[in-house]
């Protein structure tokens, strides 16, 4: 008994010496787990198709979400490695584990490779072609990180493409055809979010914006404002047409969707354009999302 007590005490002191909790949080933080919320788009095809409650779908959901979240995290890590110097001058991004030196570049790259390899292994038990979407997403992410993020307009299109790949991957994983209207709706909403993120950065960073992101030097407030309203209007029209295609009363959710779009545009002007942060921190957007999903669930199911 004394032996095991001594072992426990030794391990406890060792853990305290290296501050195990903080180390684990550092490594978890580099994955950007908050952004895994975006992977929920994968569930849109089965959710709208009315099949998400089927046993075969429920069984696959954890693996699908983990696989895509891991490949997304690998892309985030490479992006953080690439932008470490710029992030170190940003009032928020300088807290990231790579930019502040808490995690070394070789270690970060090793984690990214391990995450991507794990996601590919998981894809082998899902569908014959799910791995294609994982590789496609990573290629788009890397292209954005090293080249396309510097090109005005192209950068927001690429961000929107990442959202689209998630939906298409969900259709493939659950063997559901993604309809034209759903495809267009997601694209326009994604374009809205991408433009909102850029406008939020422009407002928040002010005259220092170009020092943190090259493309911000080429964007104007009026252009991004116009893109916001254009994409929001198009998204609402596309979604309305999609709901009419269902012919089951889904169009009653259109006013709720309209409020959500308007609320997002409203908070963008406070520099809160990041989609993940908007969903997590704005109570009205979060409440609108919950209400929207609840209405759809009652109508379809």
Tell me, what's the pLDDT at 182?
A: 93
Give residue 284's pLDDT: 95
Q: Which two tokens stand for residue 35?
A: 């952004």
Q: According to the model, what pLDDT value does residue 106 have?
A: 86
| pLDDT (0 to 100) of residue 12 | 43
Is there a contact between 172 and 68 (Cβ–Cβ < 8 Å)? no
**Residues, the chain, total?**
301
Are 137 and 131 within 8 A, CB to CB? no
CA distances from residue 49 to 57, 66, 182, 295 in whole angstroms, order as listed: 12, 22, 11, 15
For the whole model, what pTM was predicted?
A: 0.85
Q: What was the pLDDT predicted at 201?
A: 83
Q: What is the DSSP string of 59-106?
A: HHHHHHHHHHHHHHHHHHHHHHHHTHHHHTTSTTGGGSTTTTTSS-HH
Q: Output DSSP code: residue 252.
A: G
The pLDDT value recorded for residue 87 is 58
Classify the C-alpha dihedral 121-132-81-264 as positive or negative.
Answer: negative
Fold of 30-177: Tetracycline Repressor; domain 2 (1.10.357)
pLDDT value, residue 301: 85
The pLDDT assigned to 25 comes to 64
DSSP category for residue 128? S
Cα angle for residues 210, 215, 220 (degrees, 5° grid) = 80
Asked if 169 and 162 touch (Cβ cutoff 8 Å), the reply is no
pLDDT average per 10 residues of sequence, the chain (301 residues): 42 42 66 90 94 93 96 92 66 62 82 95 89 96 92 93 96 93 95 92 72 74 94 96 87 96 92 82 94 94 85
């Amino acid at each position: 008994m004394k032996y095991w007590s001594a072992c426990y005490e030794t391990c406890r002191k060792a853990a305290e010496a290296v501050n195990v909790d903080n180390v684990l949080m550092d490594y978890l933080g580099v994955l950007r787990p908050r952004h895994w919320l975006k992977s929920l788009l994968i569930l849109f095809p089965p959710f709208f198709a009315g099949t998400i409650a089927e046993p075969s779908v429920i069984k696959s959901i954890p693996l699908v979400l983990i696989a895509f979240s891991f490949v997304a995290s690998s892309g985030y890590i490479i992006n953080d490695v690439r932008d470490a110097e710029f992030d170190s001058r940003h009032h928020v991004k300088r807290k990231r584990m790579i930019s502040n030196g808490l995690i070394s570049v070789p270690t970060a790259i090793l984690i990214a490779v391990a995450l991507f390899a794990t996601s590919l292994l998981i894809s082998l038990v899902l569908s014959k072609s799910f791995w294609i979407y994982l590789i496609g997403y990573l290629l788009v992410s890397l292209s954005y990180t090293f080249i396309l993020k510097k090109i005005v307009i192209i950068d927001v299109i690429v961000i929107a493409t990442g959202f689209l790949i998630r939906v298409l991957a969900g259709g493939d994983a659950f063997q559901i055809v993604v309809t034209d209207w759903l495809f267009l709706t997601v694209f326009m909403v994604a374009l809205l979010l991408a433009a909102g993120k850029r406008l939020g950065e422009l407002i928040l960073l002010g005259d220092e914006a170009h020092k943190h992101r090259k493309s911000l030097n080429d964007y104007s407030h009026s252009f991004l404002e116009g893109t916001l309203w254009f994409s929001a209007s198009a998204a609402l029209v596309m979604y309305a047409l999609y709901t009419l295609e269902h012919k089951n009363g889904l169009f009653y959710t259109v006013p709720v969707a309209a409020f959500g779009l308007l609320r997002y545009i409203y908070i963008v002007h406070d520099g809160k354009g990041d989609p993940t942060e908007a969903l997590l921190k704005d109570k009205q957007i979060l409440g609108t999302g919950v209400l929207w999903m609840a209405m759809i669930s009652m109508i379809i199911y």
